[in-house]
Structure 1
Amino acid sequence: MAAQAPEQFLEVEVKLAVDEGTGMPDLTQLPGVEEIEGMREHNLSAVYYDTEDLRLTRSKITLRRRTGGADDGWHIKLPKGEGRNEVRMPLDDPTAVPEALRAQVRAIVRNEPLQPIAQVDNRRVEITLAGAEGTVAEFCDDHVTAWSLLPGGERTSWREWELELSEALAGTDEGNALINQATSFLISAGARKSSSPSKLATALGDSLKTAPLPPHLQSEQSLDDDSAAATVVASLRNQRDAIVGWDPRVRADEADSVHQMRVSTREMRSLLETFEGILEGEQLASLEDELKYAAGVLGEARDAEVVEERFTELLDSDESGLVDDAARTHIAGDMRADYNAAHEKIVAMLDSERFMALLDAIDALLAEPPVALSAGKKDEEKQSAEVLYDHLERGYKKLKKRHDKVVEFYDDTTLPLHERENYVHDVRKAAKKLRYSANAAQGAGLKAERLAKACKALQSQLGDFQDAVTSRDRIERLADEARGRGEDTFAYGMLYQRELDRGEQALSGYDDAVREVRKAFKKIKP
């Protein structure tokens, strides 16, 4: 029997503190509210779970097992825009966190046990508010008693008001307007903005300070804030947080999530390579290899996604009428199948011990950055910006060397087409690394913003070129498969030529883009 899929909801709400003696306002005075649709009272009891070092709480994520009310079950809430994404599972086993929910936060908790950290009991009066077109929100008058289960934890009681938008309004402009108006209305009725972001935070109180820090927040080595090493480590930390943050969104197959997670893994690897000499140690090479592997797995799905989008565009824009039904079916459907298979591989990777070990290795590096002794000596003689500039210069020289090969060989038709295209692709990879390095160098006060923008423009242009190459190669494989089935391959040849033309069009202005990178680099020398 297949496991039950979790339910997901976008939660957008406002919580306000209120004194015990404050009277309830007339909620029909809220804009868009015409009547009280219903009123119920619940006795709710929730036990919150986290790791010993409170990894979820520190990431503004809550995991709880709640009984009472209409939504008994396991709930996990993750930040999403102006609200939170709430994922629910039934209480089939009240003693174990469902695997489907644990997967949502696996990149954060990894193999650490989840244990109770607080209990929150709540006597709730729930009022459903309706407008002209149905339910618009639920208002809750909560009388809360909570216990922190951490060392030094205490019992706490308080009252709060909560207004949560209906599913139809959550995430809409109309809903955001109602939240803002309701906040002003409830404050005028005697409520006040809470000093705590959630019931759990209020329950934990000062006992939160007794929990140890997660590895990536521990600092075994004090770095001078103005040093080159501190700048590099800060950039690595940003990418670490991005990788972990994109994990649940990749699992849910949210738009652009695979691409963004791949960018973060590649940027971290690029930083380690570019700033070798500021950081050093045997673990760096292993870390770079594992990041390359992860980016490769993500890349399979990303390439399939890009090609599918291009195929759709090619078919939608075709006016020739020469794409037969059989070709159209394969062109439209095969890449979706490839993407789905590649996405399954990504989820398997994210669940693997290999990926857990990669994340642990990243955290270990951040906890104790392997700063090169030679870098420390150099920093005594040179400013941080100068040290980083030296590394940028190496990256720029690599880009220039690869560009020179394009100038020399791209128009040499005696060479195979793919060999010439690979020279262009090498320039794109060099531009990408230089862009990432320029972004990091800005943290040390180096005026590298223009260089980062110029590299991004060149990278984007050459990315369009490479997408055309990737799409063309896939069309060629589809044609071979069609030929094996005895089908007409004329349509594939026509689309292949169109992608060949689009690739050449993407290179128009290439020299200007490289020239802008050159000008931008000359502007940043400290």
Structure 2
Amino acid sequence: MSSPANPSVPEAPRPDDDRERTGPDDPASKAIVASLRTAIERIQIADPAARGGEPEGVHRLRTSARRLRSELQAFGKLLDAEWRDHLAAELRWLGGAIGEVRDLDVLRERFEKGESEADRLALKPLFDWLEGRRTKGGRTMRRTLTGERFKKLLAELEKAADDPPVGERAGKPCRKILPPLVVKAWKRLRSDADGLAADSPDVAFHEIRKRAKRARYTTELVASALGPKPEKRARRIINLARKIQDVLGEHQDAVVALTEVETFVALGRQDEAFHESVEGLLARLRRAADESRDLFLDELAPKLAKKKNQGRLENHD
């Protein structure tokens, strides 16, 4: 679930904003540098708002860390393996350090919009419990963002952007090296989605969401370096990946919310009004999870299987 725009949080830069675009004949290393520099800017923009506890800042910071980790994985053997794996681990740590706060913001937004005034009053013990956890998580997140490990991560990114640790293949043109990365991402997404059914475990749909996000990020990254025509052709599959991400994001949000509510109910007894309201809440969450799962299976999975959505962006001009 994405947060509404917040005017106090500046817009994140696009990969080629205010800098020379990477072109199809440029070495792939230039696309790697663009990825790193854009990630640094995104993190630096989101950092102050996240430290202040603003949900949009937390969301953008977490997304920035996840996106760069995905792009590093997409570049694969173009990068020094030891450095890539180390940086991916640090970005995973950063995302995890702010993950609970973001998840609780999503829950709060869902409950505030989806419940009646009477239900919100009856469910106040649940909301207070979530808010207490959010406050505690916010303190932990601020310690993370003011700590030495985060500062060291930013310094490592700055150093890598100036002198990226790349392999020999990164010196070859983008038009030769980068398109197969997109095909690979979409092939993995289709392979993992094949065979999913209504009775597949919830975690399997969450994995597809992550694969769709990675395919989207990889496509956006590569398409911007291949020229106008491949970039235009990429729009269809980028939009498909975004739809999959949104629909299965709704599914995952509902599943997580179900787990949290059931956990709180198991902690102890509440009054009759609470139990009446919480049963209605649980029913709505189960319905939301079922509807989003079925929408993916009935409408999006068939589109994903089509040959035209294989992620081929080669520029034949």
TM-score under structure 1 normalisation?
Answer: 0.51
User: Which residue is equivalent to 2:130?
Assistant: 335
User: Which residue is equivalent to 1:491?
Assistant: 277
After TM superposition, list the pairs within 5 Å mapping 1:114-263 onto structure 2: 226-263=26-63
User: Which residue is equivalent to 2:196?
Assistant: 406
Kindly provide the CA deviation profile for residues 118-148 of structure 1, in whole angstroms up to 9, marking residues without a partner as x.
Answer: xxxxxxxxxxxxxxxxxxxxxxxxxxxxxxx
Q: Answer yes or no: is 1:363 the counterpart of 2:149.
A: no
What CA distance in whole angstroms lies between the structure 1 residues aligned with 2:116 and 2:52? 28
User: Which residue is equivalent to 2:111?
Assistant: 311
Query: Displaced runs of 4+ in structure 1, greater than 4 A?
Result: 79-82, 485-488
Kindly provide the CA deviation profile for residues 19-42 of structure 1, in whole angstroms up to 9, marking residues without a partner as x.
Answer: xxxxxxxxxxxxxxxxxxxxxxxx
Kindly provide the CA deviation profile for residues 433-485 of structure 1, in whole angstroms up to 9, marking residues without a partner as x.
Answer: 111111110222243232222211110111011000111111101111233x6
What CA distance in whole angstroms lies between the structure 2 residues aligned with 1:225 and 1:364? 25
User: Which residue is equivalent to 1:393?
Assistant: 183
Does the Cα contact within 8 Å between 1:246 and 1:261 map onto a contact in 2?
yes
Letter in 1 for 2:178: L
Does the Cα contact within 8 Å between 2:24 and 2:175 map onto a contact in 1?
no
What CA distance in whole angstroms lies between the structure 2 residues aligned with 1:308 and 1:460? 18
Three-state SS of the structure 2 residue aligned to 1:406 is coil
Does the Cα contact within 8 Å between 2:80 and 2:166 map onto a contact in 1?
yes
What CA distance in whole angstroms lies between the structure 1 residues aligned with 2:112 and 2:264? 15
Letter in 2 for 1:404: D
Shift of 1:431: 0.4
Specify every segment of 5 or more residues in structure 2 that has no aligned partner in the other structure, as ranges.
1-7, 12-22
Shift of 1:324: 9.2
CA RMSD of the aligned region, Å? 2.6
Q: Answer yes or no: is 1:457 the counterpart of 2:257.
A: no
Aligned counterpart in structure 2 of residue 480 of structure 1, from 248, 263, 266: 266
What CA distance in whole angstroms lies between the structure 2 residues aligned with 1:451 and 1:232? 22
What CA distance in whole angstroms lies between the structure 2 residues aligned with 1:253 and 1:427? 30
Aligned counterpart in structure 1 of residue 300 of structure 2, from 513, 519, 524: 513
Letter in 2 for 1:451: I
Does the Cα contact within 8 Å between 2:183 and 2:311 map onto a contact in 1?
no
Three-state SS of the structure 2 residue aligned to 1:344 is helix
Letter in 2 for 1:260: R
Shift of 1:225: 6.8
Three-state SS of the structure 2 residue aligned to 1:226 is coil
User: Which residue is equivalent to 2:140?
Assistant: 345
What CA distance in whole angstroms lies between the structure 1 residues aligned with 2:288 and 2:71? 32
Does the Cα contact within 8 Å between 2:42 and 2:61 map onto a contact in 1?
yes
User: Which residue is equivalent to 2:15?
Assistant: none
Does the Cα contact within 8 Å between 1:231 and 1:444 map onto a contact in 2?
yes
Shift of 1:237: 1.3
What CA distance in whole angstroms lies between the structure 1 residues aligned with 2:279 and 2:33? 49
Kindly provide the CA deviation profile for residues 226-259 of structure 1, in whole angstroms up to 9, marking residues without a partner as x.
Answer: 1222113202211111001111111122341101
Q: Answer yes or no: is 1:275 the counterpart of 2:68.
A: no
Residues 364, 522 of structure 1: alpha-carbon distance in 2 compared, 3 angstrom cutoff: closer
Specify every segment of 5 or more residues in structure 1 that has no aligned partner in the other structure, as ranges.
1-78, 83-222, 413-419
Residues 442, 426 of structure 1: alpha-carbon distance in 2 compared, 3 angstrom cutoff: same
Does the Cα contact within 8 Å between 2:244 and 2:300 map onto a contact in 1?
yes
> Identity of aligned pairs, percent?
27
Q: Answer yes or no: is 1:500 the counterpart of 2:289.
A: no
Does the Cα contact within 8 Å between 1:278 and 1:371 map onto a contact in 2?
yes
The structure number with the bigger radius of gyration is 1
Aligned length: 288
Three-state SS of the structure 1 residue aligned to 2:204 is helix
Aligned counterpart in structure 2 of residue 432 of structure 1, from 188, 213, 230: 213
What CA distance in whole angstroms lies between the structure 2 residues aligned with 1:402 and 1:441? 22
Return the structure number with greater helix share: 2
Return the structure number with greater strand share: 1
Letter in 2 for 1:256: E
Letter in 2 for 1:411: D
What CA distance in whole angstroms lies between the structure 2 residues aligned with 1:439 and 1:479? 43
TM-score under structure 2 normalisation?
Answer: 0.82
Residues 365, 496 of structure 1: alpha-carbon distance in 2 compared, 3 angstrom cutoff: same
Kindly provide the CA deviation profile for residues 19-71 of structure 1, in whole angstroms up to 9, marking residues without a partner as x.
Answer: xxxxxxxxxxxxxxxxxxxxxxxxxxxxxxxxxxxxxxxxxxxxxxxxxxxxx
Residues 324, 441 of structure 1: alpha-carbon distance in 2 compared, 3 angstrom cutoff: closer
